[in-house]
Chains A and B, each alone.
Chain A
Amino acid sequence: MNSQFKKGIIEMCVINMIARQNMYGFAVIEALSKEIEVNENTVYPILRRLTDQGYFETYTETTNVGAPRKYYKITDEGIKKCQEYESEWNRFLKGVFRILGGDEHEK
């Protein structure tokens, strides 16, 4: 798959996951790679960029092992972005399915 395209999708997944619950870096990569084939190198840079763009905040929490962990938490702006992505994605998918001729996929 076109890597630019895939990166966009991964970005959408990351923002969606963080919108549901606060997560730390390792867990994000782990959860993503369980479901889809991701290029691990791109996940952290995406987390970092989204934080820079103000969609995530970070805070540290000490774990039971003792080492502090950086958690990512969605911001209001991030929620807006996430919804934007979702509707954009749905519209996109519907279009794709129509082109592929599978009307039955439409809800």
Chain B
Amino acid sequence: MKNSYLKEIEALLRQYQIEEAEIKDIISDYDQMYEDGLAKEMTDAEIREFLGDPNQIVTELCENYARKQIRRKGHKLVALSPFVAVIIFFILGQFFDKWHPGWLVFLLIPVTAIIVETFAKKKRDLVIAISPFVAIVTYILIGILAGIWHPTWLVFLVIPISAIILGPGDRRPLRIITALSPFVALIIFMILGEFGYWHPGWLVFLSIPLIAILNTKSLTRILVYESAFLVAIGLYLLLGYTRDVWGLSLLVFLLPVAFMILFADYVFHFSWKSLEMLSVILVVTAIYILGGVFAEAWDYLWLVFLVIPVYSILRFSRGKDSLVAISPFIAVTIFFVLGYFADLWTISWLAFLLIPITAILKNKS
């Protein structure tokens, strides 16, 4: 335990350009203090709490030294990225006449900045921050090169999915599965739809409440709700196929709903946080599906999914970094809206410059 604690501090320190001797000195100081804690018969967890969290310690230490010695690795890379992007852009344009998808290289600028900025801190934030770019590049490349825009928009689901899996909030597997279920259901629905099974296919969305119910604490309730749902689904299909009364047979779903109202307190077993996120996710998914089905807006309505990570960042992460954290999502929105609706793809990527700009402004203040 002592070793892992010291290793953690050391690894974090190495992200800064501190002299080797200084790192050794700090580590040996913490080694001694840890030993002092052990000598007092403190447990590893107690010592850890007593001495502090490695992340905060190192931030604190390096903040103090910042003016003297610290320059984070990779800053040169960030500074160079615009030039590299311009060069690649012109090469692609001049020699291969690929001005059009070629402008995508400008995404290198914010991507480099994000990688350098977040890599030093938390790797899991990196994936979330990068996901919009990965999604856009995949979407546009497959769209342009293969002409397959339609199911390709599904890659944008990477954004909320990575935010749910890796973002702040409840980490228990069941909660994550619950939060992910709308997206999985949507993907399955689209696949079924492609094969022409839109109609009974929509039933996959019922897996969302079926999974959500599992979050209930009492086993009897789980059994009651689940069987009510399954019976309803069975009845619905039976009535639908045998009597062809699809519309009317929808009424059987009142059965599980009635059960839920009867035991209405199930809601309170959720933590408010996950309930809140779940409702945001459901509302967003509903908007998306309704907009897609009724307005054929699949192509651009995926933007509403950006609300999920933005909401969770604003709501659950503290203070000053949140603006920087949401800047990629704002940039993606501006970029896509200008590009899609005004066909300004060639210049709308400039929106991504918002990200390093926000990061720089925030760092100064």
Name A's B-contacting residues (CB within 8 A).
24-27, 29-30, 33, 39-42, 44-45, 48-49, 65, 67-70
Contact = CB atoms under 8 A, between A and B. Distances in A.
Q: Of residues B26, B30, B37, B64, which shows the largest number of chain A Cβ atoms within 10 Å of its Cβ?
A: B64
Nearest to B53: A41
Contact of A26 (B26, B32, B53, B64): B32
Given A29-B51, A48-B26, A41 B35 contact: no
B32 A41 contact: no
Contact of B52 (A41, A48, A67): A41
B57 interface: yes
A68 B64 CA distance: 26
Contacts of A65: 39
B328 to A, nearest CB: 28
Interface in B46-96: 49-53, 56-57, 60-61, 63-64
Contact of A70 (B32, B56, B61, B64): B32
Interface string B12-34: 00000000000000101110110
Contacts of A44: 29-30, 33, 51-52, 57, 61
A41 B60 contact: yes
The binding surface of chain B is classed by DSSP as helix
Contacts, number: 55
Contacts of A68: 32
B10 to A, nearest CB: 15
Interface residues of B, number: 21
B44 interface: no
Contacts of B52: 39-42, 44
Interface of B: 26, 28-30, 32-33, 35-37, 39, 49-53, 56-57, 60-61, 63-64
Contacts of A33: 50
Contacts of A45: 57, 60-61, 63-64
A40 B51 contact: yes
A47 B60 CA distance: 12
Q: Of residues A42, A44, A45, which shows the largest number of chain B Cβ atoms within 10 Å of its Cβ?
A: A45
A41 B33 contact: no
B29 A25 contact: yes
A38 B201 CA distance: 58
B29 A41 contact: no
Contacts of A42: 52, 60
Given A25-B29, A48-B26, A41 B36 contact: no
B50 A69 contact: no
A30 B33 CA distance: 11
Given A25-B32, A25-B33, A26-B33, A41 B56 contact: yes
B36 A40 contact: no
Contacts of B39: 65
A39 B59 CA distance: 13
A40 B35 contact: no
19 contacts: A25-B36, A26-B33, A26-B37, A29-B33, A29-B50, A33-B50, A39-B56, A40-B52, A44-B29, A44-B30, A44-B51, A44-B61, A45-B63, A48-B26, A48-B64, A49-B64, A69-B32, A70-B28, A70-B29
Q: Of residues A33, A39, A44, which shows the largest number of chain B Cβ atoms within 10 Å of its Cβ?
A: A44
B16 to A, nearest CB: 13
Contacts of B33: 25-26, 29, 44
Contacts of A69: 32, 36
B32 A67 contact: yes
Given A30-B50, A42-B60, 12 more contacts: A25-B32, A25-B33, A29-B33, A33-B50, A39-B56, A40-B52, A42-B52, A44-B29, A44-B30, A45-B57, A65-B39, A67-B32
A68 B35 CA distance: 10
Contacts of A70: 28-29, 32
